[in-house]
Amino acid sequence: MSTEDRHPHGAPERTRLPVGERRRLLAEAALRVMKREGVAAATTRAVCSEAGMPHGAFHYCFRTKKEFYAEVLSMDVISDLSEAWSQVAHASPSEAIVTLVRALWAQVEVDADAQRVLFDLESTVLSSPDLRDLLDQQYQASLDLAAASLARLQEEAGFRFASPVRPLAGLVLAALDGATWMWLTSRDPELARSTMDQLANVLITHIRTDQPDAGEGA
């Protein structure tokens, strides 16, 4: 079977895949199962069937349930901001901040069911003492990405924040989580977008008015 052949559920059937890619495919399959049937339905057999892999593939890729949940939760870390970066270099500092914040929200808004499932999974993990530290790991990964994005934003748009980027990154994550929960419960996308625009306005107030030399650190 070639690399272009596909399983009926849509997952590619491939041989000799690296373990990391198999783990990702299984996590994506688990998310699809959870979206259709709930978190409890994502048994090892159901996930492997969805991914078009033999049942043994799950235990080959994940030694423990904790490793599996960590892989699924990692899908909640936003990473695709390429469209935003193509715009910020030609924008003013204020416009660049608005562009980035809206791009972050767009990554959330694209799939309400996935966000609902991830909230449900986080609640499941939080209720288990053996799994609870996964949420801290996920938060730190998200915080690192948000801080790196704000640092890059300064470079791309040619300005500096008056505050360190890491606390500002924490503010971004808190606003994203709050807006996501608001959106899932109210089903009012405009309200959530307005909240994110308010976040952008707050970040704009942290722009340094006495801009340093380009080589000066944040």
76 pLDDT higher than 90: no
13 pLDDT higher than 70: no
Could you tell me what percent of the chain has a pLDDT over 70?
88
Could you tell me what percent of the chain has a pLDDT over 90?
72
Q: What is the mean pLDDT of residues 60-88?
A: 86
Poorest-confidence range of 26-30, 86-90, 140-144, 173-177? 86-90
- Measured CA distances, 99 to 62, 85, 111, 153 (Å): 38, 9, 20, 10
pLDDT category at 12 given cuts 50, 70, 90 is very low
What pLDDT score does 78 carry?
A: 63
Tokens (6 digits) for 109: 């808004």
Average pLDDT, the chain: 87
What pLDDT score does 2 carry?
A: 35
Whole-prediction pTM value? 0.80
59 pLDDT higher than 50: yes
With helix as H, strand as E and coil as C, how does 108-174 read?
A: HHCCHHHHHHHHHHHHHHHCCCCCCHHHHHHHHHHHHHHHHHHHHHHHHHCCCECCCHHHHHHHHHH
What pLDDT score does 211 carry?
A: 65
**Phi and psi angles of residue 30, each rounded to the nearest 5 degrees, phi first:** -60, -40
pLDDT category at 213 given cuts 50, 70, 90 is low
Distance CA 126, CA 134 (A): 9
